[in-house]
Chains A and B, each alone.
Chain A
């Protein structure tokens, strides 16, 4: 928010960047091991972790009130809903 300028500390952002790069490397590394069935689940788990890092620390979602968090959760739920609905249909045919 742009009330009177509150000096924010830059350290947080650098740490977040480091964490994101580390997670990316981890995700890439695990992919090389070809864990078979578990591979996609882990990769998506790491991606979700990275996404929430970006949302929480870069986008600072917590500073924009509850509505923004509700929007984020509802969006993720509805995307998952569509994927499960269509995926289940084809998988269970």
Chain B
């Protein structure tokens, strides 16, 4: 941070603004996939919904809850830090990491389940019960959307681990917790993206 900023408050304001612009930009990375989803769904219609019904709804729903609770814990950690209860904040972030890993674990389980059935992206797709190309396209989109989201979950988890280490080394406290709020904003965005992915890929069959 340059000394361009007279005081800490204006420097933080700049950091928050920069973060929000970055979040907007990051969300638009998914815009292309949402666009393809709406085009293929409008184009294929019925066979597309058939493939969508094949996804395990309970798996998606549990993952949604996992991410929502993890999002809560992030907000809880920020709240505790503001009240100077740093131990509590630390454990909240640990909970977030645990929930994030659970999410990835469930995702991995779902992927292997799909792959064993022969549901693979693009040319590798060879699932006989849903031969229609719409199913192949749906599952390719499914892999791309959830895969890109999973990458963002991994990035979010690394940020959380980094924050945990900073709290433990007393670099974050009630007065200085900008990076905690920024990390929190990023994780909430990852949760919001999944909130939209869940109905599109699991519910609206």
Where the two chains meet, the residues of A that have a C-beta atom closer than 8 Å to any C-beta of B are 1-8, 10, 13-14, 16-17, 20-21, 24, 27-28, 31, 39-40, 43-44, 46-47, 50-51, 54-55, 57-59, 64-65, 67-68, 71-72, 74-75, 78-79, 82-91, 93
Query: Interface SS of chain B: helix, strand, loop or mixed?
Result: helix
Q: Tell me the total A-B contact number using a CB cutoff of 8 A.
A: 156
Contacts of A55 in B (CB 8 A): 188, 192
Q: How far is the CA of A34 from the CA of B6 in the complex (A)?
A: 58
Report A73 CB to chain B, min CB distance, Å.
10
Bound Cα distance from A20 to B69, whole angstroms: 9
CB contacts under 8 Å to A, within B15-29, are 16-17, 20-21, 23-24, 27-28
Count residues of B near A (Cβ-Cβ below 8 Å). 60
Q: Which of B30-38, B97-105, B108-116 contacts A (4 or more CB under 8 A)?
A: B30-38
> Top 4 closest A-B pairs, CB basis?
A43-B199, A5-B174, A87-B38, A31-B203
CB neighbours (8 Å) of A1 from chain B are: 9, 12
Smallest CB–CB gap between A50 and chain B, Å? 5
Q: B61 and A83: CB pair below 8 A?
A: no
25 A-B pairs within 8 Å (CB atoms) are namely A2-B12, A2-B175, A2-B181, A5-B175, A7-B82, A8-B79, A16-B75, A20-B71, A20-B72, A24-B65, A27-B199, A31-B57, A39-B203, A43-B204, A51-B195, A54-B192, A55-B188, A57-B75, A59-B184, A64-B20, A75-B23, A78-B28, A78-B31, A79-B27, A82-B31
Question: Which of B28, B61, B74 is in CB contact (< 8 Å) with A28?
Answer: B61
